[in-house]
Amino acid sequence: MSVERQRGDQRPPVVEAGERETLVAFLDYVRDAVLAKVDGLDAARAAAPGVESGTSVLGLLRHLAGAETHWFAWAYAGEDVPFPDMDMRLAPGDTLEGVTAAYRAAIARSNAIIAGCPDLSARTARAASTPPRVRTMRWVLVHMIEETARHAGHADILREQLDGSTGR
């Protein structure tokens, strides 16, 4: 597999590989975009709500950590983990370092699960979503690219409101 990209590179990945590698490269690309939005923020600014709903850059990371755990560990792998909290509102005790570390850990776990999947047509161990359905790993990967990219866009706007920073 060849993925021509380094951390901090804002261009989409150039992937000369198969389906799995391409999907993971794009998922990692949008994950990096979300993580980049907390770079340089202090805890108060990262947690500051930017819209009436209370959504913050840090809240988006919290939500995405839960979504990663939900789809890859809980639904696909059927791991015995508590049902993930995907709320975007910060909980008491949430910190910039803790939420960021939780998101990075969820990504690492998800990537290990993806690597261990024998075939992208393999089905989730648990039915998930509304209505509950068994999905394929392929569906989960595409869904998580969509979910993460949507929230990367939200994070772009929230970060620009905080300090004028723009770009990936």
Residue 149 lies in a domain: yes
Enumerate residues 6+ apart whose C-beta is below 8 A from 21.
1, 3, 15
User: Domains in the chain: how many in total?
Assistant: 1
Domain that holds residue 143: 32-163
Q: Sorting pLDDT into bands at 50, 70 and 90, what band is 152? A: very high
C-alpha–C-alpha distance, residues 61 and 55, integer Å: 10
* R_g of the chain computed on alpha carbons: 16
CATH number of the domain that residue 156 is part of:
1.20.120.450
Token readout for 6 is 């380094």
Residue 70 lies in a domain: yes
Q: Structure pTM?
A: 0.91
Question: 9 vs 148, which has greater pLDDT?
Answer: 148
Single-letter code of the amino acid located at 126: R
For residue 63, the SS3 value is helix
Q: What is the pLDDT of residues 108-132, one digit of tens each?
A: 999 999 999 999 999 999 999 888 8
Q: Which residues pair with 3 in a beta bridge?
A: 15
Tokens linked to 44? 């108060």
